[in-house]
Amino acid sequence: MTTTLSQEEIRRQADAIGPWFHNMDLGGVWTAPDHFLGDYPGVKFRGFADAIPADLTGRSVLDIGCNGGFYSIEMKKRGAERVLGIDFDEDYLTQARFAARVTGHDIEFAKLSVYDVGSLGERFDVVIFMGVLYHLRHPLLALDLIHEHVAGDLLLYQSLQRGSAAIDEVPENADFWDVEMFDRPGYPKLHFIEHSYSNDPTNWWAPNAAASAAMLRSAGFEILRHPEEEVFVCRRVEVRPVPWSGAVYPARPAPRGSAGS
Ligand SMILES: C[S@@+](CC[C@H](N)C(=O)[O-])C[C@H]1O[C@@H](n2cnc3c(N)ncnc32)[C@H](O)[C@@H]1O
């Protein structure tokens, strides 16, 4: 059931828990109308919304780095039975809970880092990993942990990317003296950001499109669709290209008070 709050009251409460990164329509009140990327993430979502199942009836969804809850709500609108949004930022979780309440969606939100997904002890039909990888100092570890512990079938991935959009074939092996390929624009490249980028010191990496694709494959995700430059729709596969790779980070119990909505 949607909220009975007046627009004035929604505005007041939304402002009190801002600033928002997600621009969402909460009963006619937009949460981040001046977002520097425009109507974000709506504008992003419209570019790939058709590439994911329209009907998620009976499916479970884990939204990692859920922020204000935009994707969690969109998945619920598609009929998902259970949606769990996790984020390690309590302020964003407060926004997500408010957005879900105002829009009348039953969604669980919990404070949890992607590095601790092992503590969830369950797999989800759809895992959303949008806009988080480049904020992590250990991006491949996060992908390995998602594969190891929570991915059940589909993975929806997006990252800020810089460099070429080309995705070259990478060789199974190369000669020690074959150095030219590393300079090709479509070779997988993960640009390291030592200090800050776009005034955000948590932007640690900027992969090119080839690096996003290669890391996904390397972590055990088959790429089904690449509907726009930054977005990949993947399926978890059992076999890793390098059998001895993978997550070694242990699953630890959820911190006290972190579970539940
Ligand atoms: C750029 S926002 C992306 C939000 C949303 N997923 C989207 O695509 O619009 C990054 C989000 O990831 C969260 N985040 C960053 N590092 C995280 C971590 N280690 N574990 C869980 N969430 C994290 C941030 O708090 C923030 O909400």
Every domain of the chain and the residues it spans: 7-166+175-236
Q: What is the pLDDT of residues 12-38, one digit of tens each?
A: 999 999 999 999 999 999 999 999 999
Q: Is the CB of 89 under 6 A from ligand 1?
A: yes
> Angle, to 10 degrees, between the axis of helix 90-103 and the axis of helix 7-16?
170
**Domain 7-166+175-236 carries which CATH code?**
3.40.50.150
* Residue among 40, 48, 67 whose CB has most ligand 1 atoms within 8 A, to mutate: 67
Q: What is the pLDDT of residues 103-152, one digit of tens each?
A: 999 999 999 999 999 999 999 999 999 999 999 999 999 999 999 999 99
Cα 129 to middle of ligand 1, angstroms: 9
Would you state the pLDDT for residue 260? 40
Match 């884990």 to its residue by tokens.
62
Q: Is the CB of 135 under 6 A from ligand 1?
A: yes
Task: Note the Cα 40 to chain centre separation in Å.
Answer: 14
Q: 127-152 burial, b if ≥16 CB within 10 A, otherwise e?
A: bbbbbbbbbbeebebbbbbbbbbbbe
Give whole-number Cα distances, 181 to 192, 205, 216, in Å: 19, 21, 20
Residue type, 54: A
Would you state the pLDDT for residue 3? 72
Would you state the pLDDT for residue 49? 97
Would you state the pLDDT for residue 215? 96
Would you state the pLDDT for residue 4? 86
